[in-house]
Amino acid sequence: MMFFAVARRLGQSRPKGRAGGQRNPAAEFPDDSTHDDSIHNESIMVKVRDFLGPYRLARLIRLGSTCQVWEAILEQDNKRYALKVLRPEQRGNKEEIGFLKHEFEVAKELNHKNIIKLIEFRTNAETPFIVMELFSELNLKMAIRKGPEAIAYQLASIVDQACESLYYLHSKGYVHCDIKPDNLLLSRNWEVKLIDFTIAKKIRTGIGKLFGGKNKVEGTRSYMSPEQIKGGNLDPRSDIYSMGCMIYELIGGKAPYTANTPNDLLNKHVSAPIPSLLVNNDNVSSDFNNIVRKMLAKKPEDRPQDMWDVLKMVRTTPIFKKPPRIPSTNPFDDYQGGGRIEPAS
């Protein structure tokens, strides 16, 4: 069975054919875009357009293919926020505006310590943007760039917080559909917050399960569940699969499946044997390895049935046989402003 590539990296063209024109959350903010040289060029423009409504643009945090994220100051009270703004060439794109509005509608009522707070959606001078709380700009993908050892001694807390955020989101009737290390921010205080609800979907219940039709195939291919790849009905168990992929990577240093082509990668999610974490990290306890393997089951009915089941297991099962050492290097040190919550004075 072959599947068209769904997620693409920054700079790749939109795929044509069956998957053409679909959303690519992975390309929106690549994990290394904090150091993109083009940030300097766009930062120069601040002097020309340094206000969006009442918000003064202070610093470009991240640059993606469709959006920019800015640190901004509300002039009324000097409080700082993060603005997610469509790039100039996208501001007339109704599809991208729709994605931005959808993200706000999903997240505007969410109120949890491990979920980024979205405050308002505005359009100023034909520029749509979302106002969010200002948090760390470092994500988990960036934190493990030099290896999983960088966060291993805090991993139990990180996994617990990530699972808490997803449990809460599911309780509000949504599946995230793009769980991956890039979409969980990490602060220097080791706080975790879930972000990016661009392709989140309402959980179908009752008759909607039977007559809701097929879902558009969207996601990031290294973390997509088999049913997500097939365009099937998505419930919390799909996010549980993606969380299993993410936990696997945080412990083992790489995603559970890799391949030379996008189609091969998607096919592995659907039909390849479930890998063991012990191959990549022999310090993982066999019990925790079994939890992750259960989360990665091909059939939804073979996985934990909800995030509460996952939380109970991860809270009572040691991840490692031996406690990891505190590393000599800090994952935040390579990033300017990385991991800070309060702005520098």
> Domain residue spans in the chain?
20-133, 140-316
What distance in Å separates the CA atoms of residue 19 and residue 212, rounded to the nearest whole number? 20
- Measured CA to CA, the distance from residue 146 to residue 140 in angstroms comes to 12
The two tokens of residue 172 are 């509000």
Residue 44: in which H helix or E strand, if any?
Answer: helix 38-44
Q: What distance in Å separates the CA atoms of residue 326 and residue 314, rounded to the nearest whole number?
A: 21
- Report helix angle 307-316 to 286-295, nearest 10: 170
What topology is assigned to 20-133 in CATH? Phosphorylase Kinase; domain 1 (3.30.200)
Are 20-133 and 140-316 equal in CATH topology? no
- Identify the residue whose tokens are 């991993």: 155
Residue 99 CB-density burial (10 A; 0-12 exposed, 13-18 middle, 19+ buried): buried
What gap in Å lies between CA 175 and CA 166, rounded to an integer? 8
Cβ(148)–Cβ(251) below 8 Å: yes
Per-residue pLDDT of the chain in tens (345 residues, 90 and over written 9): 444 334 333 233 333 333 333 454 444 444 433 334 344 444 444 444 589 999 999 999 989 889 999 999 999 999 999 999 999 999 899 999 999 999 999 999 999 999 999 999 999 888 999 999 999 989 999 999 989 999 999 999 999 999 999 999 999 999 999 999 999 999 999 999 999 999 999 998 856 555 556 678 899 999 999 999 999 999 999 999 999 999 999 999 999 999 999 999 999 999 999 999 999 999 999 999 999 999 999 999 999 999 999 999 999 999 999 999 999 888 888 775 655 554 433
CATH fit for domain 140-316, picks 1.10.510.10, 3.40.50.300, 2.40.50.140, 3.30.70.270:
1.10.510.10
Going 161 to 162 to 167 to 171, the CA torsion angle's sign is positive
